[in-house]
Amino acid sequence: MIRVEKLAKRFGDVEAVRDVSFEAPDGKITGLLGPNGAGKTTTLRMISTLVRPTAGRASVDGVDTAADPLGVRAKLGMLSDARGLYTRLTARENIAYYGQLRGLPDAAIAASTEKLAGWLDLVPLLDRRTDGFSQGERMKVAIARAMVHDPRNIVLDEPTNGLDVMTTRALRDVIRRLRDEGKCVLFSSHVMQEVSALCDTIVIVAHGAVVAEGDPETIRAASGCDSLEDAFVKLTGAEEQPA
């Protein structure tokens, strides 16, 4: 379970995140939805402990990010905004490197790699060097790498960015499977359809603050709009451009 309370982050004069609070429970898919620059990536980075909040706090399974960053990282599988691979290593070696760094025995790494490769349709690619991989193939390796230790909490930053339809569908299946295994899945997207197709709970973020939270139907009803898309546009203030 991931819990975020009144998180804020300021970079110099820029207030990237002003006031973000939400809870992503186990066994549920939580979507962080917002336009580009709303503060989604910064929020996720604060959860992954790589960015220190200016105010507020975040915790993963009750472990505070400020108090025990390594403990939080151990409980988390994070597909970050940067997802570069080592192009001279094979897909399998890329995945194994993270498994070893997390202290997994070789047998566990091998088993985990097989399972994730099966889910992500990666098996024929495993022993090839990643430098010739397509964007979708690289993404799949990055996801497998982030989940090699079978984490209870999974954070995915815009995982469907730049993927074709087939890969996107495969990825959705994986996310649902993870939820069905009882994991906490938190993922961000700026594509409303993406979030509404997949999420149990949606958290809409705009200008660094949460503007709506709940299941898709609740959000639509609360906004007084006919469709979720209208609600999204209205809530994120995409109509009235702030000066």
Could you tell me if 6 and 21 are in contact, meaning their C-beta atoms sit under 8 angstroms apart?
yes
Distance CA 17, CA 9 (A): 5
Binding span for another protein by CB under 8 A among 32-40, 55-63, 84-92, 172-180? 84-92
Distance CA 158, CA 136 (A): 13
Looking at residues 47 to 76 of the shown chain, list those that interact with another protein (rule: CB under 8 A). 48-52, 70-71, 73-74, 76
Minimum CB distance to another protein, residue 37 (Å): 13
Among residues 60, 34, 39, the alpha carbon closest in space to that of 49 is found at: 60
Minimum CB distance to another protein, residue 25 (Å): 22
Give the pairing of strands 28-33 and 184-189. Answer: parallel
107 binds another protein (CB under 8 A): no
Nearer to another protein, 137 or 232 (CB): 137
Region for 215 from its dihedrals, namely left if φ exceeds 0, alpha if ψ lies in -120 to 50, beta otherwise: beta
Nearer to another protein, 98 or 133 (CB): 98
Distance CA 37, CA 242 (A): 14
Q: What is the CA radius of gyration of the chain?
A: 18
142 binds another protein (CB under 8 A): yes
Start-to-end C-alpha separation, the chain = 37
| List 3, 57, 102, 152, residue binding another protein (CB under 8 A) | 102
| List 67, 88, 176, 221, residue binding another protein (CB under 8 A) | 88
Binding span for another protein by CB under 8 A among 17-25, 93-101, 118-126, 189-197? 93-101
Binding site for another protein (CB under 8 A): 45, 48-52, 70-71, 73-74, 76, 78-89, 93, 97-98, 100-103, 129, 142, 145-146
